[in-house]
Amino acid sequence: MFSKVERLISIRNLKPKRKEGFLKVISIFSFLGITLGVAILIIVMSVMNGFRADLTQKIIGLNPHLILESNNFLSKENFKKDLKKKFPKFILKESYNGEGIIMSNNIIKGALIKGSNVKNLDFLKKNIIKGKVSEFKEGMIIVGNEMAYDLNIKVGDKVTLMSSSFIDTPFGGFPKQDVFTLGAIYKSGFIEYDKSVVFLKISEALSIFDKTNDDINLEIYLKNPLKADFYKKEIENISKDFLIYSWSDLNKSFFSALKVERNVMFLILTLIIIVAAFNIISGLTILIKNKTREIAILKTLGLSNSSIKKSFFLTGFTIGFLATVSGVVIGIIFSLYIEELRSLISNLFNTEIFPPEVYFLDEMPSEISFLSTFIISIFSLLITSLASYFPANIISKMEISKGLKYE
């Protein structure tokens, strides 16, 4: 693609003479600008990918993958049989959720009450920090560590649970309430979840809300939760009598915000590469101005306009290519060891630069996407190619007589 002469001219352009020191400075800044731009883009995209993946795994663990609602118990039982026939790998569970109030030690807090078969919940098996799920029985309740702290309670203490359902008495309507023993405490990593969600046996949840089996929800757990929306459509094709929503439907606004934030960050950080590319234009323009006589002599010796254009294009492209490769290497290395770097900086400056109570994560996540890295690299090379082409195209149009006019 490039002849030996064109490569030789390009190499000489990359090694400016001592009197052209300013040109060398511009080339260095172009190189550093593109390198930093590519590296920062890869690091930020990796962190955001890791952040999204980590939160997705936690949300999947906290929520059923699909939820089916209906007010007809018999219809649900028949539908369960149809589902088991068509999707034998589905794990089906029952639940009922409602809002209420939990009270202890003269402290009152709002709570989301979740009734289910507690002993079969994988989430609780993995996240219990005090007590045992295997010993859970009627009259017991499980709360998050944040709620336990706020209520100042421990395993074995009594708490009062009040629902939003009312019972009629001679003195008027009063909300239904009951006393439970704290059987275990869990920690999910989501502070808001740990502050508000409590678990009961499904029969007790139905009782405190004055509900029947008709009000039970059907939960579906998948082997691959990321296919929840696909199976949602498949189930809707079987029957239209159920309200079906997936874990992603429950968190749609959150993930939409993450997607918008990632796209905006990509656009903003791309400006670093574009600004650095302008340095290439400036550097090549100054180089061409200083090389006017040499270019005219080369044309006189028979070098074509195309070869001159290609040699100067190769000069700018080489800077961009080497800078892009350097940026990719630096970005990947930083992404792989970003948690170690975060810990080091936190210890050096005695400050928490990634508070877990704000970001819901115990450590800095990072997930390198080779597709994102490839797109960033191609985008960087495209920008530097365009920045190198325009000055090179201008010099090819220079007339020999003007180049030698003052020689």
Q: What residues contact 125, with CB distance under 8 A and at least 6 apart? A: 133
Place of tokens 């090694």: 15
The per-residue pLDDT for 356 is 59
Distance CA 247, CA 229 (A): 9
Query: Tell me, what's the pLDDT at 330?
Result: 92
**CA–CA distance, 302 with 308 (Å, rounded to integer):** 11
| Residue 329 confidence (pLDDT) | 93
Where in the chain are the domains?
4-57+254-403, 64-90+222-247, 96-215
CA–CA separation, 161 and 115 (whole Å): 13
DSSP 8-state secondary structure symbol assigned to residue 59: H
58-101 pLDDT, tens digit per residue, is 777 777 888 887 766 556 677 777 777 788 888 888 888 888 88
- Kindly give the confidence (pLDDT) of every residue in the chain, 407 residues in length, as a single tens digit, with 9 standing for 90 and above: 667 766 676 677 666 665 555 556 777 777 888 888 888 888 888 888 887 777 777 777 777 888 887 766 556 677 777 777 788 888 888 888 888 889 988 888 888 888 888 777 777 878 888 888 888 888 899 999 889 988 999 998 999 988 877 666 565 567 788 889 998 998 887 777 888 889 988 888 888 888 887 788 888 888 888 788 888 888 777 776 778 888 777 777 777 777 777 788 778 777 777 877 777 777 777 766 666 667 777 677 676 777 777 777 787 888 888 888 999 999 999 888 888 887 777 777 777 666 655 555 667 778 888 888 898 888 888 888 888 877 777 766 666 555 555 45
Query: SS3 for 367?
Result: coil
CA-based nearest residue to 229, from 255, 209, 205: 255
Return the closest-CA partner of residue 360 out of 58, 16, 53.
58
Reference 113, options 99, 93, 126; nearest CA is 99
Closest CA to 55 of 249, 338, 248: 248
Distance (Å, rounded) from C-alpha 200 to C-alpha 197? 10
Could you tell me the two tokens for 54?
């980590």
Nearest by Cα to 30 from 264, 315, 267, 309:
315
| Paired residues of 179 in beta bridges | 160
On the 0-12 / 13-18 / 19+ scale of CB atoms within 10 A, 303 is middle
Which two structure tokens, joined as six digits, stand for 173? 């309507």
The token pair that represents 35 in the structure block = 């390198």
